[in-house]
């Protein structure tokens, strides 16, 4: 583990049995509350993409917005919101994805990218990978190019990052 990962990992609070028995929930609020850890977190992403040609950062509702907005600002890139269904006011594209029980949907404004835009897709955490996969499909449908799918935390036992790689996506996570 590198300099960034180790100190950020220490700042993550794991809450047992939330939201239901058996789940060890990774709570990122403790990273955000810790000004040193929060700065290191954003620095890790900035360091990763600094000097690369990135047109836009696409951030996933809701915790991805926190990282995505700071990263877009630092990279001098635009910020695009991938939202849960029913939140975007203009014409949208929709992708459904599986949850443990039932399905959910993410949406993107049709004019969010120009074809060929180079995009980093950001969220706080990859679990099953369903959310990131649905978001990446939206971005590809508009014709933008996903440079990388990036998250603060990977839960590798849930297989999400592997699934994303199998779909041809490059994946970066700060810690697992």
- Give yes or no for residue 68 binding ligand PRP (CB under 6 A): no
* Sites for ligand HPA among residues 54-113 (CB under 6 A): none
Among 26, 40, 83, 109, binds ligand HPA (CB under 6 A): 26
Contacting range for ligand PRP; rule: CB under 6 A; set: 36-44, 47-55, 61-69, 139-147: 61-69
- Angular region, 112: left φ>0, alpha ψ -120 to 50, beta rest: alpha
Name the minimum Å distance from CB 44 to ligand PRP: 17
Among 37, 127, 138, 164, binds ligand PRP (CB under 6 A): 127
CA distance linking residue 107 with residue 96, whole number of Å: 9
Q: Which does 131 bind (CB under 5 to 8 A by kind): ligand HPA, ligand PRP, none?
A: ligand PRP
Among 55, 117, 124, 154, binds ligand PRP (CB under 6 A): 124
Extract the runs of DSSP E, i.e. beta strands, from the chain. 13-16, 24-27, 56-60, 78-84, 92-98, 103-109, 118-126, 145-154, 171-175
Q: Which does 26 bind (CB under 5 to 8 A by kind): ligand HPA, ligand PRP, none?
A: ligand HPA
The count of chain residues that interact with ligand PRP, using the rule CB under 6 A, is 14
Taken in order 67, 71, 72, 77, the sign of the CA dihedral is negative
* Cβ(160)–Cβ(49) below 8 Å: no
CA distance linking residue 84 with residue 173, whole number of Å: 22
Tokens of 136: 């990446």
Q: Which does 25 bind (CB under 5 to 8 A by kind): ligand PRP, ligand HPA, none?
A: ligand HPA
Prior bond to 19 cis, omega within 30? yes
- Give yes or no for residue 127 binding ligand HPA (CB under 6 A): yes
Residues at the contact surface with ligand PRP, assessed by CB under 6 A: 60-63, 123-131, 160
């Amino acid at each position: 583990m590198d300099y960034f990962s180790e100190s950020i990992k220490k700042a993550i609070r794991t809450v047992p049995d939330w939201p239901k028995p058996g789940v060890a929930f990774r709570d990122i609020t403790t990273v955000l509350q810790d000004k040193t850890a929060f700065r290191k977190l954003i620095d890790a992403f900035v360091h990763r993409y600094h000097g690369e040609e990135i047109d836009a950062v696409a951030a996933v509702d809701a915790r991805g917005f926190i990282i995505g907005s700071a990263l877009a600002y630092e990279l001098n890139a635009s910020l695009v919101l991938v939202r849960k269904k029913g939140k975007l006011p203009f014409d949208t594209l929709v992708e459904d994805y599986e949850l443990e029980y039932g399905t959910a949907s993410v949406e993107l404004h049709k004019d969010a990218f120009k074809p060929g835009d180079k995009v980093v897709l950001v969220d706080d955490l990859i679990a099953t990978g369903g959310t990131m996969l649905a978001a990446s499909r939206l971005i590809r449908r508009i014709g933008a190019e996903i440079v990388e799918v990036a998250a603060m935390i990977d839960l590798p036992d849930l297989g999400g990052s592997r699934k994303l790689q199998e779909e041809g996506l490059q994946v970066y996570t700060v810690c697992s």
